[in-house]
Amino acid sequence: MRQNAHLLAAAVLAVALTGCSQSDTDESVADTAPAADTATDPTAAEAAPNVLLADWEGPYGGVPAFDSMDLEQLKPALEAGMAKNLEEIQAIADSDEPATFDNTIVAMERTGRELGRVFTYWGIWSSNVSSPEFRDIQAEMAPKLSEFFSRINQNEKLFARVKAVYESDEVKSLRPDQQRLVQLVYDGFARNGATLDPESKKRYAEINQRLAQLSTTFGNNVLADEEQYVLYLSEDQLGGLPESVKAAAAAAARGKERDGEYAITNTRSSMDPFLTYSTERDLREKVWRTYYDRGDNGDEHDNNDVIAEILNLRHERVQLLGYDNYAQWRLENRMAKTPERAMALMEAVWPAAIARVKQEVADMQAVADAEGAGITIAPWDYRYYAEKVRKQRYDLDSDEVKQYLQLDKLRDAMFYVAGELFQFEFKPVAEGSVPVFHPDVTVWEVSDRNTGANVGLWYLDPFARTGKRSGAWATAYRGYETFDGPSNVLSANNSNFIKGEPGQPVLISWDDATTYFHEFGHALHSLSSRVAYPTLNGGVRDYTEFQSQLLERWLLTDAVINNYLVHHETGEPIPPELVAKIKKAATFNEGFKTTEYLASALVDMRYHTTDPEGIDPDEFERKVLAELDMPKEIVMRHRSPHFNHIFRGEGYASGYYGYLWAEVLTADAAEAFAEAPGGFYDSGMASKLVEHLFSVRNAMDPADAYRAFRGRDATIDALLRARGFPVPGEGSAGQQ
The residues annotated as belonging to the active site are 519
Q: What is the DSSP letter of 110?
A: T
Contacts of 270 (CB under 8 A, 6+ apart): 248, 249, 252, 263, 264, 464, 498
Q: How many CB atoms lie within 10 A of CB 43?
A: 8
| Distance from C-alpha of 451 to C-alpha of 706, rounded to nearest angstrom | 28
Helix/strand/coil for 373 = coil
Max distance between CA atoms of the chain, in angstroms, equals 84
On whether the CB atoms of residues 82 and 148 are closer than 8 A, the answer is yes
CA distance 549 to 464: 23
3-state secondary structure at position 475: strand
Does residue 145 contact residue 82 with C-beta atoms inside 8 Å?
yes
Q: What letter does residue 324 receive in the DSSP assignment?
A: S
Integer CA distances (angstroms), 501 to 56, 264, 535, 687, in order: 36, 16, 43, 42
Neighbours of 347 (CB within 10 A): 12
* Beta strands at 231-233 and 262-264: parallel, antiparallel or unpaired: antiparallel
What single letter denotes the amino acid at residue 214? L
Q: Under DSSP, is residue 447 helix (H, G, I), strand (E, B) or coil?
A: strand
679: left (phi over 0), alpha (psi -120 to 50) or beta: left
Nearest C-alpha neighbor of 356 from the set 649, 588, 584:
588
Report DSSP state, residue 728: T
CA 596/CA 276 separation, integer angstroms: 16
| Element holding 493 (H helix, E strand) | strand 489-497
Q: Cα separation of 4 and 469, whole Å?
A: 26
C-alpha span between 357 and 370 (Å, rounded): 20
3-state secondary structure of 425: strand
d(CA 316, CA 207): 8
Q: Yes or no: say if 424 and 227 are a contact pair by the CB < 8 Å rule.
A: no
Question: CA 175 to CA 244: how far, in whole Å?
Answer: 55
Q: Kindly give, in sequence order, each residue whose CB lies less than 8 Å from that of residue 204, ignoring residues fewer than 6 positions away.
A: 150, 154, 192, 193, 196, 317, 320
Identify which of 214, 204, 9, 18 has the alpha carbon closest to the alpha carbon of residue 652: 18
- Residues with Cβ within 8 Å of 209's Cβ and at least 6 positions away in sequence, in order, are 143, 146, 147, 150
Q: How far apart are CA 282 and CA 279, in angstroms?
A: 9
CB distance 479 to 529 below 8 Å: yes
Alpha helices (H) in 154-197, listed in sequence order: 156-166, 176-190
Q: What angle separates helix 74-93 from helix 5-13, to the nearest 10 degrees?
A: 130
Q: How many residues does the chain have?
A: 736
Q: Which residues contact 110 (CB under 8 A, 6 or more apart)?
A: 88, 484
The CA distance from 648 to 652, in Å, is: 10
Could you tell me which residues come within 8 angstroms of residue 1 by beta carbon, excluding any fewer than 6 positions away?
Answer: 56, 113, 116, 117, 120, 477, 478
Instruction: Report cis status (omega within 30 of 0) of the bond before 33.
Output: yes
CA distance 167 to 163: 6
The helix/strand/coil state of 446 is strand
* 3-state secondary structure (DSSP) of residue 424: strand
